[in-house]
Structure 1
Amino acid sequence: MTVTSATPAFAVGDTVEILRSQDPKVTTYDGTEAEVTGFSAKGWLKVKYHDGKSATLKPDWVSLKQSASAVTETDVDQVQVTEVETETELDASDSNLQSETNPQPEVVSQQSSIGYFKFSCNSILFAKVISQVRRVIRTMSIHPILSNVKITADASSKRIEVVGFDLSLGMIAQFTATSVPVGGSYTLSAQILSDILSQLPEGVITLERNESSSKAKLTTANGVFELSGIDAHDFPELPIPTQNIQTLKISSKLLRVGCGSTLYAASTDQTKMVLCGAHIVVTPVGKFEIAATDGHRLALYRCDLNSTSVETEQHLTVPARSLHEVERYLGRDDATVEISYEVNNESGPSIVQFKLEDATIITRLLEGQYPSYNQLIPKKFQREVWIERLPLLGSIGRVAVLAALKTYLIKISVEAKKITLYSEDEDTGSGTEAIPAEVSGEDIKIAFNIKYLSEALKSIGTEEVAIKINAPATPVICTPLNGYDIVALVMPVQVHS
């Protein structure tokens, strides 16, 4: 039976969804469905919940879920008209509007379109995730919301998703909460939230926001923090690959070695554009390689994938900053990393996604033609030195103390059965050390930038390395002995004696 005098939008028998309860602080039934049983004199809806409890709600506290079935004249005769309540009854306190008994807490469905949510979780776990995501957020952003993290609580799965995005690099991290009474999304300052959480002792905390306040409330064992935020619908969407997706898989161990042995050689000069990234190549036969160069040195890592579905050779130039974040969150050695990107035959991929154990990282690719680095690597060498890596690094470090700060050079003399390292500075003095080595070829004297040589050696994880030399002014190659397929190319420095 439709009541037109008071509330024309609803009818007895309609199914409505509860947007809020009588008391803004009580959200027990928010998101659940109820049946309209009648109306008050002022047009408030009398509803009955699925558990049999009743309540009286304003029309704007509910939304129509399903209209009542059409009724016949017989049905109308059987409908009992709801009693008209007096003004005194309508002005009663909130306690009179509540159901007779306190309802038991229940999980409600997520409503991601509004910024109201509530969840409880472990403080240490939450702090760790916020700290992770905070790393992709730039401290000086022209858009205030990009300084925030987007927090989404899912009531059905109890999963909390935290997103950070600077328009070029984004991260999604998830964890399971203790409880999620109300699902929804909101954004909060990454720095403020991280600074508070990092100083909390371990325990259960609650983060919530409801319509009674414009701020989110963080409740801990000993205090309450009110945090200003921005509605989640203003947060930019991450450009997750969705069409013509190409996917390849690689073990965490291989990708960790690849990043660790190459990223140091990428340029940090933003004007060099494409050289600020690492170049990834995947072939149909399962060959995988990562290369990085800043124009003075080159690092290359190659390995074989167990399987790949690429039909043509794929090239991706990923910002080194993005790969550093991927490297940071690589999981167990036997874990698998899923790399996905959209295939575009005209312009090539523009977005790549790395799906890790504990996070998903999405980044825009760098545009431009990457140098043909394989042509820079000599195929033959006139001299080769086999030497223990750590003793060599130690010697370089000690001799470097007395290197001239202006040039920061180290001179190396390659002789039979040893190499001798030498550096000098007019103001501080000079230093010399000799190290045993196996040498093939004629004696030679050569000089290097200390930083370039030491970083190349550090990127190789084996006990022994091979240093391959042609002439004082040609590229020198460092490779591991009995290890991964790693090539570290360093250009010598010409010294006029």
Structure 2
Amino acid sequence: MKFVVSSTELLSHLSVVSRVISSKNTLPILDNFLFNLNGNDLEITASDLETTLTTTIKLENVTNDGQVAIPYRILVDTLKEFPEQPLTFDVNQDTLAIKLVSDNGEFNIVGQPAEDFPAKAVVDEAEKMTVKVPAVALLNGITKTIFATADDEMRPVMNGILLEYSAEALTFVASDAHKLVRYKRLDVQADQEKSFILPKKPAGLLKNILGKGNAEVLVEFDSKNAQFTLDQYTLVCRLVEGVYPNYNSVIPDNNPNKVTIDRLDFYNSLRRVAPFTNQASNLVKLSLKGNQIVVSAQDLDFSISAHENLQCQYDGDDMEIGFKSVFLIEILANISASDVILSLSDPSRAGLLFPAVNDNSEEDVLMLLMPMMVSA
């Protein structure tokens, strides 16, 4: 097994797939990349058992097909130090000795048997549903929701992103019980209604590779696994088992008090006031009256406080409501519109935030945040 590959191209692909590799692998073989040379296609795979990511590089200078597992750390660390140049990999299939030849030297690595590498999960042909999704739709859906996922060992379904397919839209939902995000893509429809919960790790991996010039993604899934096929990458992951809570039941349908405000002004004001919140509660108070919103915080333990007045358009009753500042800042950071609408009912009920005007007519973004008790 022998082939020649560009050092920078190989490093670029390895840097992406190595993100799958866990620092706490239970199987030593998972600390390796699986190299599979078949014709002019070099297929490189990394896995943590739950998620498997494969990339393909087209080669021109190839001698003999073959497979070998190569330790990922020494290979990536070595490639980082090479300038752009052709590298020759010469693998002895009997001894698994790997000779890496550069312009100026030779490096010797010992590989592992390819057959020890676990087989990737397969989506059941009889059960699977197949949908083609624009890469930008999948990227935006993950980007807008992944920050709202939970880290809750008791409720694993909350630790992923719900993808719901229907005849009307593809809906992404994430929640940690304090905040909830619902992102709809109206330009993606399916023949039947089905859903799955995508774990956070593969969602993050997809977010990283979706921005690499892909136009469309083939999504195939059954009740246990999902496969995402892109131009140069294929990701297969085990899905989160369980039923996602009925998120629609917590979204209020009657919030008559509406604030329209410049998103960036609101965001920056919260960033300035947040250091003055109590470290335990992180509470920031919003006082709404007329066309003005007062953003305030205080920490009585340290005798510090701050407030800022912001102009807004407010249609509703005078109100004081509290939110956890870090959550409100996160939500505003993940809305791309210049103006946002904060829709409220009363200080004890969830507030809704969404763009005043959607930049994309195919998007429907809604973010929910539970309030905090404001002390008198």
Measured against the shorter chain, the TM-score band is: over 0.9
Q: 2:123 aligns to what?
A: 241
Q: Decide which structure has the larger Cα Rg and report it.
A: 1
Output the aligned Cα RMSD.
Answer: 1.6
Q: 1:227 aligns to what?
A: 109
CA contact (8 A) 1:122 1:177 kept: no
Gaps of 5+ in 1: 1-116, 343-348
Q: 2:272 aligns to what?
A: 398
Partner Cα separation in structure 1 for residue 199 and residue 236 of structure 2: 11
What secondary structure is seen at the aligned counterpart in 1 of 2:123? coil
Which 10-residue stretch deviates more, 422-431 or 383-392?
422-431
TM-score between both structures, scaled by the size of structure 1:
0.72
Q: Does 1:317 align with 2:192?
A: no
Partner Cα separation in structure 2 for residue 212 and residue 370 of structure 1: 50
Aligned partner letter, 1:133 = V
Instruction: Pick from 248, 253, 263 the counterpart of residue 136 of structure 2.
Output: 253
Partner Cα separation in structure 1 for residue 100 and residue 214 of structure 2: 38
Aligned partner letter, 2:164 = V
Q: 1:448 aligns to what?
A: 323
What secondary structure is seen at the aligned counterpart in 2 of 1:375? helix
Q: 1:248 to 1:319 in 2, by over 3 A?
A: same
Instruction: Pick from 115, 139, 143 the counterpart of residue 27 of structure 2.
Output: 143
Structure with larger RCO (C-alpha < 8 A, sep 6+):
2
What per-residue deviation string (whole Å, max 9, x for no partner) do you get for residues 92-123 of structure 1?
xxxxxxxxxxxxxxxxxxxxxxxxx2111100
Q: Offset at 1:212? A: 6.8
Q: Does 1:199 align with 2:199?
A: no
Q: Does 1:282 align with 2:165?
A: yes
Q: 1:306 to 1:403 in 2, by over 3 A?
A: closer
Partner Cα separation in structure 2 for residue 334 and residue 168 of structure 1: 24
Instruction: Pick from 186, 189, 194 the counterpart of residue 304 of structure 1.
Output: 186
Q: Offset at 1:225? A: 1.5
CA contact (8 A) 1:297 1:489 kept: yes
Partner Cα separation in structure 2 for residue 429 and residue 374 of structure 1: 40
Q: 2:312 aligns to what?
A: 437
Runs (4+) of structure 1 moved beyond 4 Å? none
CA contact (8 A) 1:250 1:305 kept: no
Aligned partner letter, 1:385 = V
Q: 1:306 to 1:319 in 2, by over 3 A?
A: closer
What fraction of aligned residue pairs are identical, expressed as a percent? Answer: 27
Partner Cα separation in structure 1 for residue 87 and residue 214 of structure 2: 34
What secondary structure is seen at the aligned counterpart in 1 of 2:170? strand
Instruction: Pick from 124, 135, 140 the counterpart of residue 8 of structure 2.
Output: 124
CA contact (8 A) 2:66 2:93 kept: no
Instruction: Pick from 41, 64, 70 the counterpart of residue 188 of structure 1.
Output: 70
Instruction: Output aligned runs, 1:378-393, within 5 Å.
Output: 378-393=252-267
Partner Cα separation in structure 1 for residue 196 and residue 49 of structure 2: 19
What per-residue deviation string (whole Å, max 9, x for no partner) do you get for residues 288-345 of structure 1?
101011111111111224553x33x101011022111111111467711110013xxx
Q: 1:375 aligns to what?
A: 249
Gaps of 5+ in 2: none
What secondary structure is seen at the aligned counterpart in 1 of 2:68? strand
Q: 1:443 to 1:333 in 2, by over 3 A?
A: farther
Which 10-residue stretch deviates more, 462-471 or 401-410?
401-410
Aligned partner letter, 2:297 = S
What per-residue deviation string (whole Å, max 9, x for no partner) do you get for residues 121-157 of structure 1?
1000000111111101101111000111101112x3x
What per-residue deviation string (whole Å, max 9, x for no partner) do you get for residues 437-491 of structure 1?
1001011101111111111111111111110011111111001122131111100
Q: 1:332 to 1:182 in 2, by over 3 A?
A: closer
Q: 1:128 to 1:233 in 2, by over 3 A?
A: same
CA contact (8 A) 2:35 2:42 kept: yes
Q: How many corresponding residue pairs?
A: 370
Partner Cα separation in structure 2 for residue 365 and residue 214 of structure 1: 35
Q: 1:197 to 1:392 in 2, by over 3 A?
A: same
